[in-house]
Structures are given as C-alpha cells and as structure tokens.
Amino acid sequence: MLKFIIPTIMLMPLTWLSKNNFIWVNTTTHSLLISFTSLLLLNQFNDNSLNYSLTFFSDSLSAPLLMLTMWLLPLTLMASQSHLTKEPLTRKKLYITMLITLQTLLIMTFTATELIMFYITFESTLIPTLIIITRWGNQPERLNAGLYFLFYTLMGSLPLLVALTYLQNTLGSLNFLLLQYWAQPLPISWSNTLMWLAYMMAFLVKMPLYGLHLWLPKAHVEAPIAGSMVLAAVLLKLGGYGMLRITSILSPMTEHMAHPFLVLSLWGMIMTSSICLRQTDLKSLIAYSSVSHMALVITAALIQTPWSYMGATALMIAHGLTSSMLFCLANSNYERTHSRTMILARGLQIFLPLMTTWWLLACLANLALPPTINLIGELLVITSTFSWSNLTIILMAMNILITALYSLYMLITTQRGKHSHHINNLTPSFTREHTLMALHIIPLLLLSLNPKIILGFLY
Amino acid sequence: MNPFISIMLLSTLILSTMIVTISSHWLFAWIGLEMNMMAIIPIMMKKPTPRATEASTKYFLTQATASALLMLAIIINLMYSSQWTIMKLFNPTASILMTMALAIKLGLAPFHFWVPEVTQGIPLTTGLILLTWQKLAPISILYQISPSINLHLMVTMSFLSILIGGWGGLNQTQLRKIMAYSSIAHMGWMTTILLYNPSLTMLNLLIYIIMTFTMFTLLAQNSTTTTLLLSQTWNTMPIMTTFTMLTLLSMGGLPPLTGFMPKWMIIQELTKNESLLLPTLMAITALLNLYFYMRLAYSTALTLFPSTNNMKMKWQFYPTKQMTLLPTAIVLSTMLLPLTPMFFILL
C-alpha cells in the first residue's frame, strides 16, 4: 500500500518545488498516474482480501472506494484551477498541499487494518477539510459551516474511540481481519445498547443521518469546489464504509437497535428529497440530494442482507461520481455568474450547449436511470428493504419519484426555457471543464458495463 | 531586573523544584514548595504595576494556605505512621487534606479561582513559568502518594476541572486567561489517570508542557495578549499564524497532532479499568476547550479579522526577539503522535 501512499505524499514536494506555471500541470498529471496504479487493486479474490502488510489491506469493499478517492484528486485539482488564479503562488501551493494531505489520509483510512488506525486517520481528515472550507470558502457563513462540520463529527466520533478501546481490551486486537472471526455476538442489554450507539453514531453523523445532517448543507455550500467535491464524493463514504465494516461485529444487536435509525433514514430520504424541490440555491439542492442518497445507504447498511450490502457499495461509488459531477457543473455556473441562485442562470442551453449534455447526463444519473450503476444500487437496496418490510416500497417509490422530480427540475431550470436577460455575456466553456465532466461521467458509464467490481465483498 | 537578582531568583526556582522532586523527607519537600513560592513572587512582580501586585498577592495567599494544609497533612501522617518518608499516606484524613492542598497548588477545581486572575496579571514569560514549571513539584508529590489518594475525591476534582476549564474559557478574549483555563482543563485530564497509571500523568504533563511552552513562546514573539492582537500576526509574521493554528489544534486534542496522544492513552487506560462513561464524558467536555481554541485559530490563521487599514500596513521587520527552542517545540507539539509506542514504553 506504500506504493500509493509514498507517491501521494511526494506530490507535496512536487507542488512546492515545481516551476511557477507548472504546478497545476505537474500535480494533476502525477495524481492521475497514481490513480491508475490503484487499478491493480481490482484483482480481488471473492472471499479473501489482499493483505499488504500488518497495517494495510484492501478487499472488495475498500478497493472501489480507494479507486474513487484516487480518481478524484486530479479532478479536484482541475476544478480548482479557475478560482485560484488570482491568489498568490504560496497560497495556491498551500491549497494543493491541503488537498494532497487529505488524499493521503483518505488512502490510509480506506486501507487501514487496525480499527484505531482507521479512527485516527478518519479524524485526521477533518483538519485539512476544515482548513479548505474556512480559509478558501467565499461567504462569511463558512465560519459557522466549519464549526458545525468539526463539532458534529467530533461529537459523534469520541464515543467511538472509547468503544474501540474497550473492544481492544476485551478481544485483544482490533485487526479487522481477525475481528471478523473473533467477534462475540453482542447480547441485548442496556449497556450494549449504549455500546452500539457509541460505535454507530460517528458514522451516522458522517453519512449523514437525517436528524444529524445539519452540518452537511452548510459545509457543502460554503466549501470551495474542491472541498465540495471531496466532501460529497469521499468523506460521506467514510461513514458508509465504517458502517459496513463495523456492523459485521455488532450482530445480533443491530436488528434490535436499528429500527429508530431505519425509520429516520427512510423518512429523511423523503424529507430531504422534498426540500430539494423548494431550494433556490443550486449547491444546497445538490447537498440535500446527497443526504437523500446517503439515507438509502444507511438503510441498506442497517438491514445487513447480502443484496443490501451490494446495493450500498454500488450506491456509494455511483453517488460519489454523480454528486461530484453535479458540484462541478454548479461550480461552472458559479464561476460565470458568481451566484448560486438557480433562477439567475436559466436557459443555459442556448449559450453553453455542450455543457447541457453533461448536465443531462449528470441529472439522468442522479435520478438512477437504467443502466447506470446508480440504478443498480438503488434497485438492490429497494428489493432488500422490500424483503425486510413490505411497507417500505411505498416510501422508496415516493423517493424515486421525488428524486426524478428534483433532478429534472434542476436540469430544466438551469438549461431549458427562456434565458435570463443578464447572462448574454457568459464566457464559453473551457476545455478543462469539459475534460472534468467527461472524466466524471466516463467511469460512471463504463462501470455500468461491468458493475461486478463495485458490488462489494458479499458478491 | 538586576541580573544578579534574576540569577538568584531563577536558580532558587529551579533548585526548589529539584528539592521537592528528589527529597525523601516530607519536611524537605515542604521546604522546597515554600522556596518555590518565595522565588516566583518577585519574578511575578518584575513590573510593579497594581495588577501584578494583585496577582502576586493572590498567588501568595493561595499557595501559603496550601502549604499550611500540606504541613497539617504531613503531621497527621507522622502521627499515624511515625515516620517522615515520602511514600503513600497512612491515614485517610491526611490523604484527603494533602490531595486538597496539592489541588490548590495545581489549580484543580474547585480551587481553580486563582489561576486565571494570577495568569492575567503577570507578563507572558512569567505566565509560562507559572503554568509549566510550577506544576512539576506538586505533581511529583501526587505521583509519590498516588496509591493512597481517595478515588472519589480525585475523580470529582478532575472531572470538575475539565468542565470548568472548558466552560470558563469560552467567554475570554484575553489570551493569558485562555491559557489559564486550558491549564485547568489539562490538569483535570492529568489527575484523572493518576490513580490508575501514574506514568500517564507524567506523559500528559510532558506533552502539556511542550504544547504550552510552544503556545507561550509563539505569543511572546509578538507580545500578543489579546485575541485582537493575535489576529494581526498575519501582517508581521505570517508563518506564525500556521504554527499558532497547529499548536492550538494540538492542544484541542485533534489527531494526527501530538495533543491527541495523552487523551488517547488516558482513554485507553480508563477503559482498561472498566470505566467507560467517564472517559466518554471527559472527551466530549474537551470539545468545549476545542471550541475556544478554534475561535483563536479562526481569528489568527483562517480569516481576516476586522481591523483598520493602519493595522494592515505595518512594516515587517526581522524578528529581534530570541525564538528560544521555538522550532523544536513546534515540531514536538505537532508531530509526535507516530512516536506513541516509544513514549508508552519509556514511561
């Protein structure tokens, strides 16, 4: 695993020592090359995992997420070029360094064997993200956004530290590969209820669960584009990854404890989708749609059936690419009009027709059109929740409907219809932006040809 | 201050702490503590302003009371064990009295009231000595009597310290008071683990001293004593903003910085002793501390504080103040976490 971590760390000297007008070229190219090496991880055995050392391993769950993370770094670098042009050179290099630090910590989180190592790197991802949001965000609301982000996540994860330490003292080791075989069934009692909550709250806040999601719209909206992309695509998946890992040692308590959270996520799914219909702020709409999709992942992770785990993993990868693409599209709007209000930039198909293609593909992916992997994830989750309880089909159907509604609403408002009068001097789209969108959608479409690789470890 | 007097006072200060730590006779330990108090009072009065006088007087009164209580505890111990050796105490009354006396000396709640006011009235470097060096002597005595300390008293005082250190610092803008409340909270963490694994108290003390030293030295570079002044460091020494932010985050206990190490080790040790609610509550209350550190980090490094245009056009001189050990201290206070196994074995 050092073959990913060391090159990623070395991207930092690359940034600081490159020539002034080559920093973007160098970092983007090299991070793209590093992401290609992650494809080696695709050679996964069915019921085993690739153990690289005592500290790092990768199995069919962490490999797709790792590939997503590594694919996203060059994309975030490409997306940030435009809003950083006016900054002094040192600050540009600092920004890139923050992204690279975040990337290194994310690689270590997804491949950690020991759960405390996972915890430490999970928490460490907070600091670079906080710095990106607070230092390079654009509105004064970003201060509050950073604080909400930091404190919601920390409040949830400190009990996790205590619970993991207790687990290490009881079982002797927190090596995940051993833990799967050593874990004792957790009998149902009041103290075990608190223990279950301690394990799960960190991930539920990170996902986020509907009642704890207040940090997400703030953080996503106030972050600069790279921050939004990385937050939506990867940091939310940290929560999902943690939940999928830790629920394997928490049975049979989960069946007893999961009901309130299942209800919250099922209801929250519909609530947040409905809120999307009433949003005026484009980034806020995409942020709430993230909450809605992640609620599906939470539902899937809590039911613990093979199909639901496959659906959760597929949904995470699909949502990562789709949501990141939507944020890039929203950012291309923001860079031209310097406003996130949707109705201020209407009817863009006339001015930027090729961008409309990307908007169309992104919105269609968001509403889970067949045969994209979004659909595969949602379908697996819907069928498994139906087998868990027949009534959920009503909620799921409503959710699909409302998701389709707001995705098409977003598409139609920004692209179709009569253009607003003040936007007739928009700069045409840059090739960089088209490359960005293409690099998002091409993996998404290619994965629909072979979704087996993203279906996780219960395939 | 006259250099001869300065040398005499500093050497008395150092000598007194060494006397306390190496002595095996209770009387010598008590004498060391008294010398400690006597030596630092003139240092606190370097600039004889009324505020410094008030701070020195408050310090003298609290410490003298504590020493008197300590002597009472020593005599009671003498009565019940007929020997003066510094080891565990042989009487619960003596143990409680001595714990409270040392708590007054350290500034543990509910005896914490003197810490913010004394720290505020003295110059920054003296505040550094007060919050770091002065803690060594009482903690060494606590370490030696740790087998006989009453658990309920200790845990109550330490948890109360963490709460008060967190809540008290929230309404402060004066940096010395913020450091004082931070010291109260860290003392709370240190004394929680005293009865389970005293080596971790030492580890926490070491890391706390490194972080506080870094923080005070960074503040002393610009002689910043308020948040407002701190927000102007971007103008005079931009790199200090990064270091201040990193040190503040480290004091807040965020991984992957060093400050996470003592908290993690303490939580691990407490869970080994089957107490799970206490470390959870302690960890969550430490978030209050993190909140006011974050506020400082925001005003220093991450945002541009509102200021007049005059303030934004300062000359950037070469630094003339000596940055004693600052690079070392910064590295130690931010990058020591991967070396955790080493510390665990060392202590």
pLDDT, position A47: 66
pLDDT, position A459: 73
What is d(CA B309, CA B330) in angstroms, rounded to the nearest whole number? 31
pLDDT beyond 70 at A118: yes
Interface touch B256/A120, C-beta < 8 Å: yes
List residues in chain A touching B: CB distance below 8 A: 105, 120-121, 123-124, 126-127, 131, 134-135, 143, 146-147, 150-151, 154-155, 158-159, 161-162, 165-166, 168-169, 198
Burial degree of B56 (CB within 10 A; 0-12, 13-18, 19+): buried
User: pLDDT-derived band of residue A420, with 50, 70 and 90 as boundaries?
Assistant: confident
Which residue in the set A121, A127, A162 is minimally distant from B276, CB to CB? Answer: A162
pLDDT beyond 70 at A300: yes
pLDDT, position A74: 95
pLDDT, position A46: 65
Q: What is the mean pLDDT of residues A198-226?
A: 92
pLDDT beyond 90 at A250: no
Lowest mean pLDDT among A406-410, A417-421, B189-193: A417-421
CA dihedral in degrees (B214, B217, B221, B226; nearest 10)? Answer: 90
What is the 8-class DSSP label of residue B303? Answer: S
* Residue in B with minimal Cα distance to A195: B276
pLDDT beyond 80 at A40: no
Range of the domain at A274: 260-458
- Residue range A136-157, pLDDT digits in tens: 988 889 999 999 999 999 999 9
* Main-chain phi, psi angles of B195, to 5 degrees: -80, -15
SS3 sequence of A259-306: HHHHHHHHHHHHHHHHHHHCCCEHHHHHHHHHHHHHHHHHHHHHHCCH
Interface probe, candidates A116, A124, A161, A201, chain B, greatest B C-beta count within 10 A: A161
Which residue in the set A105, A134, A150 is minimally distant from B303, CB to CB? Answer: A134
CB-based contact, B287 to chain A, within 8 Å: yes
Terminal Cα distance for chain A, rounded: 24
pLDDT beyond 90 at A272: yes
pLDDT beyond 80 at A128: yes
* Residue in A with minimal Cα distance to B272: A169
Per DSSP, the residues of A51-63 read: E-SSSBEE-TTHH
CB-based contact, B335 to chain A, within 8 Å: no
pLDDT, position A453: 87
Please give the distance of CA A334 from its chain centroid, rounded to a whole number: 21
A105 found inside a domain: no
Structure token digits, residue B191: 């004394």
A157 found inside a domain: no
Instruction: Tell me the chain B residues in contact with residue A123 when contact means C-beta distances shorter than 8 Å.
Output: 254-256, 260
User: pLDDT-derived band of residue A458, with 50, 70 and 90 as boundaries?
Assistant: confident
Instruction: Tell me the chain B residues in contact with residue A134 when contact means C-beta distances shorter than 8 Å.
Output: 298, 302-303
Interface probe, candidates A160, A162, A164, A169, chain B, greatest B C-beta count within 10 A: A162
Contacts for A350-355: CB closer than 8 Å, 24+ residues apart: A350/A419, A351/A419, A351/A423, A351/A424, A351/A426, A352/A426, A352/A428, A352/A429, A354/A429, A354/A434, A355/A329, A355/A429, A355/A433, A355/A434, A355/A437
Interface touch A165/B283, C-beta < 8 Å: no
What is d(CA A4, CA A21) in angstroms, rounded to the nearest whole number? 26
pLDDT beyond 80 at A227: yes
Instruction: Tell me the chain A residues in contact with residue B255 when contact means C-beta distances shorter than 8 Å.
Output: 120-121, 123-124
Residue closest to A33 by CA, chosen among A62, A70, A69, A2: A70
Q: Are A326 and A362 in contact (CB under 8 A)?
A: yes
Interface touch A161/B294, C-beta < 8 Å: no
Structure token digits, residue B137: 């002597």
pLDDT, position B347: 59
CB-based contact, B284 to chain A, within 8 Å: yes
Contacts of B69 (CB under 8 A, 6+ apart): B97, B98, B100, B101, B104
- Residue range A314-354, pLDDT digits in tens: 999 999 999 999 999 999 999 988 888 888 888 888 889 99
Structure token digits, residue B340: 């955790």
CB-based contact, B268 to chain A, within 8 Å: yes
Structure token digits, residue B74: 């020593």
What is d(CA A134, CA A152) in angstroms, rounded to the nearest whole number? 16
B162: closest CA of chain A, how far (Å)? 16
Residue closest to B289 by CA, chosen among B165, B174, B199: B165
- Residue range A379-418, pLDDT digits in tens: 999 999 999 999 999 999 999 999 999 999 999 999 988 8
Instruction: Tell me the chain B residues in contact with residue A161 when contact means C-beta distances shorter than 8 Å.
Output: 264, 267, 283
What is d(CA B266, CA A305) in angstroms, rounded to the nearest whole number? 38
Give chain B's mean pLDDT. 92
Lowest mean pLDDT among A169-183, A292-306, B186-200: A169-183
A123: closest CA of chain B, how far (Å)? 6
Give chain A's mean pLDDT. 91
Residue type, A139: Q
Angstrom CA distances, B222 to A309, A370, B232, stand at 56, 62, 9
Residue B168: count of CB within 10 angstroms of its CB: 23
pLDDT beyond 70 at B63: yes
pLDDT, position A33: 94
- CA A399-A404-A408 angle, to 5 degrees, is 150
Residue closest to A119 by CA, chosen among A236, A199, A209: A199
CB-based contact, B291 to chain A, within 8 Å: yes
Residues facing residue A121 across a β-bridge: none
Lowest mean pLDDT among A77-86, A130-139, A176-185: A176-185
Our count of domains for chain A comes to: 1
SS3 sequence of A100-161: HHHHHHHHHHHHECEHHHHHHHHHHCHHHHHHHHHHHCCCCCHHHHHHHHHHHHHHHHHHHH
Instruction: Tell me the chain A residues in contact with residue B251 when contact means C-beta distances shorter than 8 Å.
Output: none
Which residue in the set B249, B287, B302 is minimally distant from A134, CB to CB? Answer: B302
pLDDT beyond 80 at B140: yes
A304 found inside a domain: yes
Which residue in the set A150, A155, A166 is minimally distant from B284, CB to CB? Answer: A155
pLDDT, position B152: 94
Burial degree of B275 (CB within 10 A; 0-12, 13-18, 19+): middle
pLDDT beyond 90 at A268: yes
Interface touch A166/B276, C-beta < 8 Å: yes
Q: If you count residue pairs, one on A and one on B, with CB atoms under 8 Å apart, how many are there? A: 67
Contacts of A362 (CB under 8 A, 6+ apart): A322, A325, A326, A329, A437, A440, A441
Q: What is the mean pLDDT of residues A240-245?
A: 92
Residues facing residue B25 across a β-bridge: B85
Which residue in the set A134, A155, A162 is minimally distant from B279, CB to CB? Answer: A162
Residue type, B139: I
Interface touch B254/A123, C-beta < 8 Å: yes
Interface touch B294/A143, C-beta < 8 Å: no
A448 found inside a domain: yes
CB-based contact, B256 to chain A, within 8 Å: yes
Angstrom CA distances, A8 to A73, A89, A104, A105, stand at 10, 21, 6, 10
Residue closest to A295 by CA, chosen among A275, A315, A323, A279: A315
Interface touch B255/A120, C-beta < 8 Å: yes
**What angle do the packed helices B134-145 and B198-222 form, to 10 degrees?**
170
A331 found inside a domain: yes
Lowest mean pLDDT among A64-73, A106-115, B299-308: B299-308
pLDDT, position B161: 96
A268 found inside a domain: yes
pLDDT beyond 80 at A50: no
Contacts of A426 (CB under 8 A, 6+ apart): A336, A337, A348, A351, A352
What is d(CA B219, CA B224) in angstroms, rounded to the nearest whole number? 5
Structure token digits, residue A269: 């799914």
Q: Are B9 and B2 in contact (CB under 8 A)?
A: no
Interface touch A162/B303, C-beta < 8 Å: no
Q: What is the mean pLDDT of residues B42-60?
A: 94
What is the 8-class DSSP label of residue A235? Answer: I
Query: What ipTM did this prediction achieve?
Result: 0.92
User: pLDDT-derived band of residue B346, with 50, 70 and 90 as boundaries?
Assistant: low
What is d(CA B251, CA B178) in angstroms, rounded to the nearest whole number? 12
A392 found inside a domain: yes
Residue type, A95: Y
- Residue range A100-110, pLDDT digits in tens: 999 999 999 99
pLDDT beyond 90 at A422: no
Element housing A50 (H / E): strand A50-51
Interface touch B298/A134, C-beta < 8 Å: yes
- Residue range B204-243, pLDDT digits in tens: 999 999 999 999 999 998 888 998 888 888 888 888 999 9
Domain positions in chain B are 3-346
